């Protein structure tokens, strides 16, 4: 029982760490590979995690041509 309670916080932290990746996959973002890479390599820093989260949550602009 103590081992489960010891692992539970690590699983929770891992889930929180990968929130940008989960959001990018759920929203089927076109740049999800970049978001996953940023999250894996720089997500341990707060700024890297926030950048990945921003990219995962922002609205895709599409190919709109304005004249």
Please give, one letter per residue, the 3-state secondary structure of the chain.
CHHHHHHHHHHHHHHHHCHHHHHHHHCCCCCHHHHHHHHHHHCCCHHHHHHHHHHHHCCCCCCCCCC
Show me where the domains of the chain are located. Answer: 2-57
**pLDDT band of 61, cuts 50, 70, 90:** confident
**Is pLDDT larger for residue 29 or for residue 1?**
29
Q: How many C-beta atoms surround the C-beta of residue 66 within 10 A?
A: 3
Spatial contact of 54 and 39, defined as CB atoms under 8 Å apart: no
For the four alpha carbons of 62, 32, 58 and 26, in that order, the dihedral sign comes to: positive
**In percent, how much of the chain has pLDDT > 70?**
91
């Amino acid at each position: 029982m103590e081992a489960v309670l010891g692992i539970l916080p690590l699983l929770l932290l891992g889930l929180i760490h990968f929130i940008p990746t989960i959001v990018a996959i759920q929203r089927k973002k076109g740049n999800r590979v970049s978001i996953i890479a940023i999250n894996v390599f720089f997500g341990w820093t707060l700024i890297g995690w926030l950048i990945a989260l921003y990219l995962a949550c922002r609205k895709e602009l599409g190919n709109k041509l304005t004249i």
